[in-house]
Structure 1
Amino acid sequence: MEQSGQMELSQLLKPNAVKAFGHATSKKRLFQDLGDIAHSVYGLQPADTVDALQERESLGPTGVGHGVALPHARLYGLDRVVGVFIRLDKPMDFDAVDRQPVDLVFALFAPKSSGVDHLKALALVSRTMRDASTCAKLRANSDPATLHAVLTEVRGTQAA
C-alpha cells in the first residue's frame, strides 16, 4: 500500500468507532466501553483490550491534561493502528497530569510489532487533541458523525 508517509486520523478512526456517552463511572468501566467498541468495530477481544489498557495505564496515567485522555495499548491480532473515540457528557476523574477530569478520550490500539507507526499515530492524535478549537468543537457536539468529522477534518497543516 503506497503512502505519502502522511498518516491521517481518518485512516485510524472508523466512523462507528466514535461514541458519545453520558458518563463513565470509573476508569475500568471506561476501558470496558472502549474494549466493547473496539470489539464491535475492529474485532478485538474485549478482555485483551481492557487488560492491555490497564497494563499501560499502570505505567503512568494517559490523561494528558485539558480534559483529554489518550489511553493506548499494543495487542496481538491487529495488522494496523486503529482508534476509538469517546466523548463524555460528564467529565470523570482520570488521574490526569493537570488533575482535571477527563471528557474526551481517544484510545489507540496498535499491533504488538507496530514500532514507529504506533508512535506516529500517537503523535498525530496528541497534536489533534492539543488543538483548543478542535476540543471546543468536540465538546459542543454529541452526534457521533459530527464528532468523527471534527476529528478527521483536522489536517497536518498546523504546526506541532
Structure 2
Amino acid sequence: MQLSDILSLDCTHCAVQHSSKKKLLETISGMVAPKLVGIHRADVFDSLLQRERLGSTGIGLGIAIPHGRLAKANQPVAVLITMAQAVDFDAIDNQPVDIVFALLVPEDQPEQHLQTLSEVARRLNNKECCRALRKASTNQELYDIFLQDEPPCS
C-alpha cells in the first residue's frame, strides 16, 4: 500500500496551533473519525491515548508518530501535521515535537500497520525531508513534499 492511499490532503495540516499533546491528539481524532464509517472521535482518541500510555510515540528530533488500532475500522487513515510551535510530547529525547504523522489502522491488519510505520519512520529519518516539511507553508506543499518519491523524502 502506498502512503498516498492512506494520507489525503484534507488530513494534512501545516502550522497547527496547539499547546498540548492532548489537544493535538484530539485534533487528530477529529480528522480521522469522519473518514471511517461507524468510528467515533472518542474511539480514535482512546486508541491513540492507550498507545501513548504504553510509551510516548515521540521518536526524537522533533518528530512523533502516534498510532493505534481500531476494531471497527475498514481501512487505514493517516494524518500529517506540522506545528506552528513545538509541543511537549514526552519524546524519548525530551525535545518538543513539531512534525506529527498519525496512523490509525484496522485491528486485524497488524502487518500492514508495521510496514506503514516503517515507511513513515524511514521518510522522517531523512534530515532533508524533515527540513523541507518544516519549511512548508501550505497544506498542499506539506502533502506534496511528504509524498514525493524523489529527494528529499524518498
TM over 0.5: same fold? yes
Pair 1:54-2:49 in alignment: yes
Pair 1:154-2:149 in alignment: yes
Shift of 1:61: 0.3
Give the match for residue 88 of structure 2: 93
Give the match for residue 4 of structure 2: 10
Runs of 5+ consecutive residues of structure 1 not aligned to the other structure? 1-6
Task: Count how many residue pairs are aligned between Structure 1 and Structure 2.
Answer: 152
Give the match for residue 4 of structure 1: none
Structure 2 Cα separation of the partners of residues 48 and 114 of structure 1: 17
Shift of 1:40: 3.5
- Please tell me whether the aligned partners of residues 16 and 81 of structure 2 are also in contact (alpha carbons under 8 angstroms): no
- Render the CA deviation track for 1:25-64: whole Å, top value 9, x for unaligned: 2111111000111124445411111111010000000000
Runs of 5+ consecutive residues of structure 2 not aligned to the other structure? none
Report runs of 4+ in structure 1 exceeding 3 Å deviation: 40-44
Shift of 1:11: 1.4
TM-score calculated relative to the size of structure 1: 0.88
Pair 1:69-2:64 in alignment: yes
Shift of 1:15: 1.2
Shift of 1:114: 0.7
Structure 1 Cα separation of the partners of residues 71 and 15 of structure 2: 28
Q: Which one-letter code corresponds to 1:122 in the other structure?
A: L
Q: Which residue, 78, 86, 89 being the options, matches 1:83?
A: 78
- Please tell me whether the aligned partners of residues 36 and 75 of structure 2 are also in contact (alpha carbons under 8 angstroms): no
Identity over aligned residues, as a percent?
34
Structure 2 Cα separation of the partners of residues 27 and 73 of structure 1: 15
Structure with more strand by fraction:
2
- Describe the SS at the equivalent of 1:86: strand
Shift of 1:65: 0.7
Q: Which residue, 133, 140, 145 being the options, matches 1:145?
A: 140
Give the match for residue 3 of structure 1: none
